[in-house]
Homo-oligomer: A and B are copies of this chain.
Amino acid sequence: MKNKKMKIARVEADVSQEKLADLVGVTRQTINLIEAGNYNPTLKLCTAICKALNKTLDDLFWEE
């Protein structure tokens, strides 16, 4: 269960994993792991990522 939506939003915003990591205050590896899936980030981090990419939680992290 990769997080394609987040990766697409990031690429559309034209920011690298490293840049996004800086923006939200985590390491590049954490961003990489989230996009790779099998990861369970905290709400605070999800929210920070959404704001950095100008999206909402439902946009990037909701799964039916």
Interface residues of A (CB under 8 A from B): 40-44, 46-47, 56-58, 61-63
Number of copies: 2
Chain B, residue nearest A50 (CB): B62
Chain B, residue nearest A42 (CB): B40
Q: In the complex, how many angstroms separate the beta carbon of A37 from the nearest chain B beta carbon?
A: 12
- Which B residues are in CB contact (< 8 Å) with A57? 56-58, 61-62
Complex formed: what's the CA distance from A42 to B46 in Å?
9
Q: In the complex, how many angstroms separate the beta carbon of A18 from the nearest chain B beta carbon?
A: 22
- Which B residues are in CB contact (< 8 Å) with A41? 42-43
Are the CB atoms of B47 and A62 closer together than 8 Å?
Answer: yes
Chain B, residue nearest A56 (CB): B58
